[in-house]
A and B are shown apart, each in its own frame.
Chain A
Amino acid sequence: MKNGVNAPRLLGYGIGGGLVVTGLAGLVVDARLTDPLGWALWFGGLVVAHDGVLVPFVLLTGVAVGRLREPAPVRAGLIVAAVLSFLALPMVTGFGRRADNPSLLPLDYGRNLLVVLGLIALVTAFATIAVRLRAGRRRG
């Protein structure tokens, strides 16, 4: 759109547009299974929750962390911890457990997540100490 039109560009738009139309048509034609209204609520809901809640929250946290003396290790530790908590959350809630099938979600996910977060906190603490020592030596 910006850099003029050439053959590879048109081909890309053709393929991409074709796939988009295929996807939309499939969602509509298969409506009995895809439930377009429910689908649209999830689609839009996730965008709103992400752009309107999650990112502002992350930005505010980022500002707060930026005030620390050595923000870099804390920032990295928090990013990794947040991602793994997000991953584990559905399992920690145990929402998917079923009485007839104990092989499904068989672990103690709350405990496992705490172990993982503990490891991350430990590494973050060591990194912070290391960075401070180095900075101290440079100054001294």
Chain B
Amino acid sequence: MARGSVMRERIETLARGVPGRFGSALHSERVAARLGLWLGISFTAAFVTGLFSHFTQHPPGRLAWPSRPVGLYRVTQGIHVIGGLATIPLLFAKLWTVYPKLWQWPPFRSFSHAVERALVLVLVGASLFQLITGLLNVSYVYLWPFSFPAAHYWTAYLLYGALVIHVVNEWAKVRRWLWTREEVEPRETVTARRRFLGTVAAASGLTVLFTVGETYAPLSGLALLAPRDPRVGPQGLPVNRSAAAAGVTAMIHDPGYRLTVTGAVGTPLSLTYADLLRLPQHTVRLPIACVEGWSAEAEWSGVRLRDLAAMAGVAPDAVLTVESLERGGGYRSSEVRAPHWGDPLTLLALRVGGEPLAPDHGFPVRLIAPNRPGALQTKWVSKVVAA
């Protein structure tokens, strides 16, 4: 009994001493507050741009989002993915800074302290989850049993909620350290802090420098560590789903191919590839802007979707569903609401860069529209259904 309690006392003394063993003055509230501010900004940007991406793909009810500015989605998703990658060093730095607190003793001082720590665990776990599965996902390493978008979407709420609570709890410290005058500190402390924060900022900056070229063409030569090169692919354009992977290789060359326009229409249409080529052709310069953050611009030519809608007598507020020759899968069809199909830039494209589409780009016909995630630029189109 007595021996046991002596033992326990020893262990407790040892545990109490752990946080004091972290020698670096960088494990400080001031560094944590500064990194916290940076993380707060980048997580807010990620949450807002992520929700934007979600609701462009799953618009609630009859709500429609605008087709302009043309490059909006490309910019928001670029911020999301490149900014998300640049957040990785910030998160690691922050967690290193506050690591001694993991070993605080006693672990729980009160019930509310226990709740606070549980929510910090949620915050840490969700942050690591979002950033690391995000990195793996854009690198095409899918080592998980869940659907990435679904898990990523719900974890975003979890993360941002825990972040809001954490900010409320720590706000007084942030104000004290970031918005009050510096008290006298030893020079070396100030230098060490500036060096550390500068190093972390440099790691973030270099992350951007070596990846952003996958969406920002002028820097594509510097995109040494980006999963895509916007200049590489058939017809100089990257591909997400190849014709072989979609299982359409045989069907797309079928001479019996017809594009049909049906559903709530005055005159149903059924057009051959040659018919489509005889309709007025338009050429537009539009990016493919992938949900994974890369984007590439090209010159597309083909028939305006709104011209086809007019020929078929579609109501001006109709929703068009563009369907692919693919038999199944998440990208088989996409909805085009009025602002998008009414936009003169929205084409059923037959050519890219002056040549017929390569099979991997959607031969014979693909949808291309402004301000829209690449996942919704349906390829191998054979049917337009109005509702």
Contact = CB atoms under 8 A, between A and B. Distances in A.
B48 interface: no
Contacts of B116: 1
Contact of B225 (A16, A24, A112): A112
A16 B227 contact: no
Contacts of B169: 1-2
Contacts of A20: 119, 122, 157-158, 161-162, 165
A3 B171 CA distance: 10
A17 B165 contact: yes
Given A84-B225, A87-B85, A106-B228, A24 B233 contact: no
A115 interface: yes
B157 A22 contact: yes
Nearest to B296: A103
B158 A24 contact: yes
Interface residues of B, number: 82
Interface of A: 1-3, 8-9, 12-13, 15-24, 26-27, 30, 33-35, 38-39, 42-44, 46-47, 50-51, 54-55, 58-59, 62, 72, 75-76, 79-80, 83-84, 86-88, 90-91, 93, 95-98, 100-107, 109, 112-113, 115-116
Interface of B: 22, 24, 85, 88-89, 92, 95-96, 99, 102, 112-113, 115-116, 119, 121-122, 124-126, 128-129, 132-133, 135-136, 139-142, 144-147, 150-151, 153-169, 172, 195, 198-200, 202-203, 206-207, 210-211, 224-229, 232-234, 237-242, 244-245, 360
27 contacts: A12-B167, A13-B165, A16-B165, A17-B165, A19-B157, A19-B158, A22-B154, A24-B154, A27-B158, A34-B151, A42-B144, A43-B126, A43-B129, A47-B125, A51-B99, A51-B102, A55-B95, A76-B202, A79-B199, A83-B206, A84-B225, A101-B242, A103-B229, A103-B239, A104-B227, A105-B227, A106-B238
